[in-house]
């Protein structure tokens, strides 16, 4: 369910200088890449870590031969969720509902609600009356296609899942839909409601911010991706611990057991890779060698 993690993309010129040839894939001399190799610490075969972006123009989703080789070398592909689970969509619909019988009208004045209602009707062609019990953050996700300069949209995970299937790779999830839903339940609905109204009032600015995020992601510069975390207008700093840090720590604990038994390809939102609590740093602290791979 793309919308459950769409906004993790808020934390996202690939520079390919001298490269060092090693057996298998090419190691990058610098850190400007979204594709990483995990080795050492007693591993018999390397595993791979890749940063994704949850929603893009479909034509912008391009995979390098290096990435395709990494997927081919892995026994299993791990994503945030088990994307090929037939029950995922059904459980996702259930988890989108606010707890405690809450409705959107509980969080807005009559004027504010009318503004949101008109926007959904005129811009999205969706009657807000049908969405009364949906978590506001889920509704924010519905706005993202309106910020994009194309009609055909996809996600890196979605296209990666297709690639994995062509290579007959099993797909597993690091989290369940229930766990992701709980992450968003931990952010007060009142605050989520404010973000929804703010997003509607700032569509022009949001389009510019979204374009910036896409360009930074495609550049693969990790320092620039990390810098986006600290931009106040993105408004997610207060929830970085919930949305990123705690989940990263949990994933690394899982991977400690997984990597001992099988080599895998791990694909999660690019924001999870960077920073002092990012997966690259946490894996290194556990004793693994995490090296940047060429990815163009």
Asked, for residue 77, whether it belongs to a domain, the answer is yes
How confident is the model at residue 237, as a pLDDT? Answer: 59
- The domain of 177 spans 2-10+20-96+150-187+217-292
Lowest average pLDDT, out of 7-11, 79-83, 288-292, goes to 7-11
Q: What is the pTM of this model?
A: 0.87
What residues are paired with 137 via a beta bridge? Answer: none
Q: Terminus-to-terminus CA distance in the chain, angstroms?
A: 28
> Burial level of 179, CB count in 10 A (0-12/13-18/19+)?
middle
How confident is the model at residue 168, as a pLDDT? Answer: 95
How confident is the model at residue 22, as a pLDDT? Answer: 41
* Averaged confidence pLDDT in the chain: 86
Long-range interactions of 71-74: CB distance < 8 A, separation 24+: 71/160, 71/163, 71/164, 71/167, 71/169, 71/265, 72/167, 73/24, 73/25, 73/45, 73/46, 73/48, 73/263, 73/265, 74/47, 74/48, 74/169, 74/263, 74/264, 74/265
Pairing outcome for strands 56-57 and 153-154: antiparallel
In this predicted structure, the answer to whether residue 249 has a pLDDT above a threshold of 90 is: yes
Query: What is the tens place of the pLDDT at every residue in 22-65?
Result: 446 888 877 889 999 999 999 999 999 999 998 899 999 999 99
Query: What is the tens place of the pLDDT at every residue in 116-149?
Result: 999 999 988 999 999 999 999 889 988 988 888 8
Instruction: For residue 276, give the DSSP letter.
Output: T
How confident is the model at residue 28, as a pLDDT? Answer: 82
Asked, for residue 126, whether it belongs to a domain, the answer is no
Asked, for residue 140, whether it belongs to a domain, the answer is no
How confident is the model at residue 44, as a pLDDT? Answer: 93
Asked, for residue 204, whether it belongs to a domain, the answer is no
Average pLDDT over residues 88-110: 85
The segment with the largest mean pLDDT, out of 22-31, 171-180, 246-255, is: 246-255
Asked, for residue 284, whether it belongs to a domain, the answer is yes
How confident is the model at residue 84, as a pLDDT? Answer: 81
Based on the structure, what is the number of domains in the chain?
A: 1
- 51: Cα separation from own chain's centroid: 8
Residue 12 pLDDT class (50, 70, 90 cuts): very low
Pairing outcome for strands 264-269 and 76-79: parallel
In this predicted structure, the answer to whether residue 10 has a pLDDT above a threshold of 90 is: no
In angstroms, what CA-CA distances link 158 with 37, 163, 218?
22, 9, 17
Asked, for residue 128, whether it belongs to a domain, the answer is no
How confident is the model at residue 90, as a pLDDT? Answer: 66
Q: What is the CA radius of gyration of the chain?
A: 19
In this predicted structure, the answer to whether residue 17 has a pLDDT above a threshold of 50 is: no
Asked, for residue 201, whether it belongs to a domain, the answer is no
In this predicted structure, the answer to whether residue 2 has a pLDDT above a threshold of 60 is: no
Please say whether the dihedral angle defined by the alpha carbons of residues 246, 199, 6 and 100, taken in this order, is positive or negative: positive
């Amino acid at each position: 369910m793309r919308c459950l993690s769409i906004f993790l993309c808020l934390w996202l010129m690939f520079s390919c200088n001298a490269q060092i040839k090693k057996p298998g894939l090419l190691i990058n001399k610098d850190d400007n890449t979204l594709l990483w190799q995990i080795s050492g610490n007693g591993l018999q075969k390397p595993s791979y870590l890749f940063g994704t972006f949850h929603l893009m123009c479909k034509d912008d989703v391009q995979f390098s031969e290096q990435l395709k080789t990494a997927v081919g070398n892995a026994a299993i592909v791990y994503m945030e969720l088990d994307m090929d689970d037939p029950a995922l969509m059904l459980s996702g619909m259930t988890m989108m509902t606010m707890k405690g019988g809450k409705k959107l009208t509980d969080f807005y004045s009559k004027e504010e609600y009318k503004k949101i209602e008109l926007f959904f009707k005129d811009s999205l062609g969706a009657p807000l009356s049908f969405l009364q019990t949906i978590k506001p953050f889920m509704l924010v996700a519905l706005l993202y296609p309106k910020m994009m300069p194309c009609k055909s949209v996809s996600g890196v995970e979605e296209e990666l899942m297709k690639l994995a299937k062509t290579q007959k790779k099993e797909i597993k999830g690091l989290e369940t839909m229930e766990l992701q839903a709980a992450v968003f339940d931990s952010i007060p609905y009142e605050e989520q409601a404010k973000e929804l109204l703010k997003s509607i009032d700032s569509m022009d600015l949001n389009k510019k911010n979204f374009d910036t995020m896409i360009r930074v992601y495609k550049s693969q510069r990790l320092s620039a991706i990390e810098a986006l975390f600290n931009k106040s207008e993105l408004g997610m700093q207060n929830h970085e611990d919930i949305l990123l840090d705690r989940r990263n720590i949990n994933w690394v604990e899982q991977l400690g057991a997984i990597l001992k038994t099988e080599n895998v390809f791990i694909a999660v939102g690019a924001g999870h890779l960077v920073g002092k609590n990012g997966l690259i740093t946490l894996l290194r602290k556990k004793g693994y060698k995490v090296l940047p791979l060429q990815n163009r």
